[in-house]
Structure formats: structure tokens, C-alpha cells
Chain A
Amino acid sequence: MLKPEALLHPTPAGLYCPPGDFHIDPVRPVARAVITHGHADHARAGHGHVAATPQTLDIMATRYGEAFAGAVRPLAYGETIARDGVEITLVPAGHVLGSAQVVVRWKGMTVVVSGDYKRRRDPTCPAFEPVPCDVFVTEATFGLPVFRHPDAADEVARLLKSLDQFPERTHLVGAYALGKAQRVIALLREAGHDRTIHVHGAMEGLNALYARHGVDLGPLASATEAQGDLAGEIVICPPSALGDRWSRRFADPVSAFCSGWMRVRARARQRGVELPLVISDHADWDELTDTLAELSPGEVWITHGREEALLRWCALRNQPARALALVGYEEEDED
């Protein structure tokens, strides 16, 4: 009986596939890499060959410059390439624009490396597609039963209500520059907010990229170059800018922070935010466990995050599971 470890196993550089000779989301420069999505800890510059979705390649080029890799191989969702008998297919992971699960097939065995994923609707990327498999490789960023994200539309409604209640104050919304920011803007548009949304300079390039890939974000403008103090307006910025001197130009800002970590009050208080918004691009506890229950794979491998509780959950259900304890993947929501 073929062991899945023969197809894929952890190395210091990341998950490695010996028969296909490639890494998935390597944290060090390698000869051949398959990249699940454009977040910096998964998509690094300096590899020889990179295969990823066209959107992810575009994100990498925007962040690192056109010469981020020796050669690239755009791989559309559903398209399959084969190398030495190993087949690779990318299917949507529902995490951010271009995010993909890597489906690896070899000698009748299927391993799915899901990267980061969520099961919620996201207007900026296609939904996660479950793929039956022998091994499902999952993250566990929010792998604790306390993490139960509410409906993101409800959180955006709270933001809009606050804007209505405090029209003399700028609503300064901290959101991760890739994915979260655009999703929040798209959700605001869906909720009927059609005013110009001002954005921090650090996210302008990515917003333009999303627009090029057909995600309509509506009227946007630079917050840094805006005239006046933007009272009553929404300004989206990277979370690190919330307590920054940069934020002083605005009118008595209501600082909001979009993150799954905001679910826990002590964390929100620690950040000193006035309006915590529980919006995450990662699966919450229910999404993680529902996905494992739905796929019921031969084995579950957990890459990073809070694997302890998820392992416990698997053990209680007699679901074989192990922690890979991969290093180098930060909790991007942390920022």
C-alpha cells in the first residue's frame, strides 16, 4: 500500500513532492514551486519555476516586480498539468482573489493541499470547491471552538450603522491589504454604500489589480491626498496604520478592525479598537470541522495554526489526523 508521505511530505522549505520534484508554498527559494495564493508568507519571490493561477501570478508580479521568478506557468482553475506521472490541478479555495487548493494525484492517490481557505461567500473570488481525497491538508488559524465568525454582511451593516450614528467622524477601517480590504469594499458596495471610499496608499496597487481581474470596487480615492479631514467617510487602511501618526489627519476617527481575532474581546481591547468587526478570510471552527466532516478523508494533515484543538476534534471522531507543524506561515490576520 502506497504511503501518502511518498507523494508529499514536510521539509524545512515547506511541503515537498519527491516524484514530481516540486514544493508547495515554499518558504525558501526552490527550483519548482506551486503557489496556493498571493499572501506574502505563501508566495515568496526567488523560485526557479512557479505554477499558480493567473491572478496569483499577477499579485506576485505586483508585489515583487515582474522578475519575481525564473519562469511562470499560469494554471487556470480546473486545468491539469502532469510531471513525471504526478498530476496537478488547481481548484478554488475561496480565500482571496486567485487562491487555490492544489490537488495532487499520483498512482490513484489524491492529496489536496488547501492552502488558506474559507467556506463563506466572497464577492471577490469563487467559492471553495470540495474535492474528495485520501489526504486533506488544512490550515487551523482559527482552530478553536471560540472562533465562530458571524455573517460578514452583518458586520458591514454595523459599520454602516456607526457611520450613520457618527457622521462627524471618519471611520477608519483596518483591513489586510490583499483580499480583506477588497472584500470589505465589495461588501460595502453590496450593502448599498456607493460613496467614494478612501484608501491608504499601500493598497492602491492591489485594488487596481482586483479591478483588472473584473472585481468592481466602485469609486475609490487616495486617503493620503484627500482634501479635508474626511468626516463621515470610510477610509480603508492596513491595520498597522490604525494607531499610526498617519491617522491623525482624520476627524476624530472611529477605529474599526476587520479580523477573525476580533471575536475575542480581550484581543480587540488589546488593539484599542472602538469598532471590532469580525470579518475573516480564514475558515472558522465550524467551517474547519464541517469541511473535515464533509470530505471525511483517509487522513487530515494540519499545516499551521491551532492544531491542538483540531487534532482533539479529529480524535473524538476517529478521524486520523496529524500535525505537520510547518513554520514560516504567519497568521496574516494578525497584522
Chain B
Amino acid sequence: MRAFAHLLDRLAFTASRNAKLRLVRDFLRDTADPDRGWALAALTGTLSFSAAKPAAIRKAVEARMDPVLFGWSYDYVGDLAETVALVWPAQPGANREPELSEVVEALRTATRAEVQPLIERWLDALDPDGRWALLKLLTGGLRVGVSARLARQACADLGGVTVGEIEEVWHALAPPYEDLFAWLEGRSEAPSADNPGRFRPVMLAQPIDEAVDFARLDPAGYAAEWKWDGIRVQAVRERGEARLYTRTGDDISHTFPDVLAAMTFEGALDGELLVMRDGRVAPFGDLQQRLNRKTVDAKLLTAFPAAIRAYDLLLDGEEDLRALSFTERRKRLESFVLAANSPRIDLSPLQPFESWDALAALRAAPPEGDPRIAEGLMLKRLDSLYEAGRPKGPWFKWKRDPHLIDAVLMYAQRGHGRRSSFYSDFTFGVWREDANGDQALTPVGKAYFGFTDEELKQLDRFVRDNTIDRFGPVRSVTANRDFGLVLEVAFEGLQRSTRHKSGVAMRFPRISRIRWDKPAREADELATLERMLD
């Protein structure tokens, strides 16, 4: 438990993905079975408890200490689990620190009445870090910024295999994953992936470099199709087991019962999950209404009907097609979709083209209909096999040019790790008329990339030289009609948002240029953004 607690503690303060990977990999390497397996389950969200009720824990701590002192402590710390972890007045006697596996095993067999005394005994035995980890685990929210995908990548790093290989077997595995570690440590063969309805690691595209790639690529060797603005999914049904996965292998079947019901085929489709009405694609914002929902009701299903636009076929019946060429798979896909004969499954059409120039013209002015809200184009080499990961060469994505606006820098926050001495997270705003009829800035987004190291230094200097206020790691800088730094911000899309004061939310904002030359008063107005709404 101590090692796991230290890992969580360290992860909670680590921002860099690479550093997180190393922390998780080292932990998995240095911790014994079965504890590391349970830890992996906790990190990937496979293991979750709701054994401990926060109210019961609070009651237990108040039975042991002065409630007034507890109240002041809670006011100061602001987080119940952390407060309890720190103030817990341990009763001496018990007390050997429980291992993670002991906690898991005990909770599996404990009756409801036994749980609370168990937890109290563990809290007695652990130090504050251990208590924090335990309480976070038991109340079901580790929140240390580790995705299941990152945890699987750390497994891959441990074993010197690709994350695709891990994903291929992942759904046939169960905690505490002893067979997985035996394989990763070279003590046994790879675990069998034979698990009906399992996920197959997906093939990803490289962004195209217009300046270099078109000169060397032969347009006759590539198929083009629109890049739909939904989420990439894999729809599998094998021996009656139907599952819907995200591109990282997260099972989202329960969120999309409408799509699952339409999956009457036997096979594995690769496609885009979209909200579709009468065969027409709805904007991404509609799909967002369906994502991350714990429960789905009939109203939601009717208002936002989901469907799959298929663009590849990995499995046809029991036949694995991944070693076939794109052309062959495409032929099989067309008859597969036809046979499926469902209004919720359609085919992503190929877009014929003569030359790269002709395709560029199409991309700039997409034809009437769904392509108008596509993100851009996909290019797939006709002879490409279906390779997991992001191989260089066979597939490219060619996004539409982003939206651009000129905004004014309002706040800056210090970064993490390599950037901890730089102000590197920038909040920017645009002009809007306030209640008095004056032009005032309203924040519309935050960006922390898009600039070069040299530009970062310049931005940092600007922030330090023009700070007017600071609160914690955040500084606000001079930004008014007469003085302010204008940033050209690029973003992919814009949606209405009730959570943002400005009423709009940007997708993938980044700083594309620093407009040292542009007066702040000439930055864009909110009305300009509102016209760009998807």
C-alpha cells in the first residue's frame, strides 16, 4: 500500500506524460504480484469501490476527535478524504499496514456491517499518504491524471512491447493480471486474446505535411474520404457478444444501447460514431450530449440518435481481414454494410479525385451536405494493410484550415516541469460591450501550445513586465483598449457553452502567432466568434 500511495502522490503533482509513464512503469517493475495488478486495475478504472461513504468516514473521525478541531481542519484543507487522512487519530495496537491486495480481498468478502470497522483498522495502520490513497480508492476517485491508455502504455514500456499488443489482449485479461506481467517479464507466452467481442488496436493516421508529402505521393495510389467529426469507434460482435469501443479500447457499449441494438452482424467495424438524423450528420455538439453519460434515457436516445459511419472492416464473420489491402477490405466492407441493412450503420463514401490540386479545391469548398461539417480529408494508401498504431506513410489526415481570431492576453499561469519557471498557460479574451456600453474583454479560451521556445520566452517576459495582479500561480496582465498583447488564436471548432462566461467554448485552441504589431483595440469582438458557431 505504501508504494501505491507514494505513486499516487507523485502522479498527482506530475504534469508531463513521459514522467507519468516512467513513474507507473517503475512502480509496476518494482512491486510484487498481486499488488501491482490491483494497482493497475485501480489506475485503469477496472477496479472501483463505493465501499466507503464519505459521511460514514466523517462520522468515524468525529467520534475520535473534537468535531470543532475537525471542522477547522476541514475548512483549511478543503477536501474530506485528505482532511481525514491527515487528522485521523490512530488508535495504537492494530497495526500492520495492509497491502493493496489485502484491502481488495477483504472488501470482496466483507458484509456491509463489517466494512466500516475494517476501514477504521486500516486507517489506524497507515500513515497519512497511505490513508489518502485508501480513501481515494474506496470513495471511487483517484483523479491523479492517469488515463487507462497511459497505464497500458506503461505496461508496454515495462515489457518492451507496443501498446497495440497490450490492447489486443487487454479485454481477455482480469485483475490482478498475473498472466500479463508474466508475459511482460518474459516468463511466459502472451496471454490468449481469444475473447469474443474483444477490442482490436486501431490504425491511426499521420498529419500530412503539405509542403513535403504531396510532391512525393502518387495520387493514383490513394483513396480519399471525408474525416467525420465524431469519435472513432470499433463495433464488434463475435459469437453474439456485441461491444462498442473507443479508439483506445474503452468499452462504451452501455452508453449507446441504440447502436448496440443495430449491431446484428458478426464482425468488427471501424468507423465514426455520429449523431445522425435521417441519414444526415449532426454537429459534434450533438454527439457530446451522448458522451460520458452514466445513464441514458429514452428522451436522450430520441433527441440524439447515434449511428456509425463505417470506413473499415477488421473482421468479417470469423475471418480476420487485417492482413488484406485497403482495396480488398473496402470491397468486403461495402457488401458487409449492405448486408447489415441498418439505418444506424452506413458507409463512409470514397471521394474520387484526379489530382492533389483538385482534392485541395474540394477540401477548401466541400460539396453540399455532410462534407460541409467534416474536419477535413483522410488519405489511405490503396495497398495498406491494417496496422495497429500510427505507422508512417499509409494513412494521412488532412484537416481543414482552422478558424483564426485575434484575442487579447488576459491571464497567464506558470507551467509544470520543464516549463515551471515560465508563464506558459495563456487565457485570452475578445471584446464585448458591457452593461455600461463600454468595450470590455471577456475570456474565451486558454492555450498552452502553438508557440516556439523563443516565443515562450518573449511571452514570459511580457507577462512578468506587465503583471497587474497575482493570485497563486496566476498573473493578470495589463489588457485594455490602449494596451495589451494580441494573440492570433487558431482553433478547430466552436460550441455554445453555459459553463463559460462568454457563452462559447473552443476546441483545440492554440496560439498561432503573436501579434506584437496589432493594437489591442483591433482584436476581435465576441460577435465575430458567435458567427463561427458550429
Contact = CB atoms under 8 A, between A and B. Distances in A.
B69 A253 contact: no
A146 B87 contact: yes
B312 to A, nearest CB: 40
Contact of A312 (B19, B68, B417, B421): B68
14 contacts: A145-B69, A145-B70, A146-B77, A148-B87, A165-B22, A253-B418, A264-B82, A265-B82, A266-B78, A274-B13, A312-B68, A313-B66, A313-B69, A316-B66
Given A269-B13, A273-B13, A313-B69, A252 B417 contact: yes
B86 A148 contact: yes
A253 B420 contact: yes
Contacts of B118: none
A275 B11 CA distance: 10
Interface in B459-488: 472-473
Interface of A: 144-148, 150, 158, 162, 165-166, 242-245, 247-248, 252-255, 263-266, 268-276, 308-309, 312-313, 316
A289 B319 CA distance: 72
B217 interface: no
Contact of A276 (B13, B69, B86, B128): B13
A313 B65 CA distance: 10
B12 A245 contact: no
Given A145-B86, A146-B83, A272-B414, A308 B421 contact: no
B60 to A, nearest CB: 15
B73 A145 contact: yes
A149 B78 CA distance: 19
Contacts of B26: 165
Interface string B403-437: 00000000000101110110000000000000000
A193 B472 CA distance: 34
Contacts of A255: 420
A312 B69 contact: yes
Contacts of B77: 146, 264-266
A316 B89 CA distance: 16
Interface in B12-26: 12-15, 19, 22-23, 26
Contacts of B73: 144-146, 309
A162 B66 CA distance: 38
Contacts of B418: 252-253
Nearest to B84: A146
A158 B6 contact: yes
B76 interface: yes
Given A150-B127, A243-B421, A144 B23 contact: no
B89 to A, nearest CB: 8
Contacts of B82: 264-265
A137 to B, nearest CB: 22
B254 interface: no
B530 interface: no
Top 5 A-B residue pairs of the complex, sorted by shortest distance between their CB atoms: A146-B86, A145-B87, A270-B472, A252-B418, A247-B421
A272 B72 contact: no
B241 interface: no
Contacts of A308: 72
Contacts of B70: 145
B114 interface: no
Given A166-B19, A312-B68, 12 more contacts: A148-B86, A148-B87, A247-B421, A253-B417, A253-B420, A254-B417, A263-B128, A271-B473, A272-B416, A274-B420, A308-B72, A312-B66
B129 to A, nearest CB: 8
Contacts of A146: 73, 76-77, 83, 86-87
Contacts of A266: 77-79
B10 interface: yes
B420 A247 contact: yes
Given A265-B12, A270-B473, A276-B13, A309 B72 contact: yes
Of the candidates B14, B15, B83, B128, the one having the most CB atoms from chain A within 10 angstroms of its own CB is B128
Nearest to A310: B69
A243 B418 CA distance: 11
B65 A275 contact: no
Contact of A242 (B14, B129, B420): B420
Contacts of A270: 472-473
A250 B19 CA distance: 17
B455 to A, nearest CB: 15
Contacts of B472: 270
Nearest to B89: A145
Contacts of A158: 6
A246 B14 CA distance: 22
Interface in B327-379: none
B10 A248 contact: no
Interface string B5-45: 01000101111000100110010000000000000000000
Contacts of B127: 150
Nearest to B471: A270
Of the candidates B22, B77, B79, B83, the one having the most CB atoms from chain A within 10 angstroms of its own CB is B77
B425 to A, nearest CB: 11
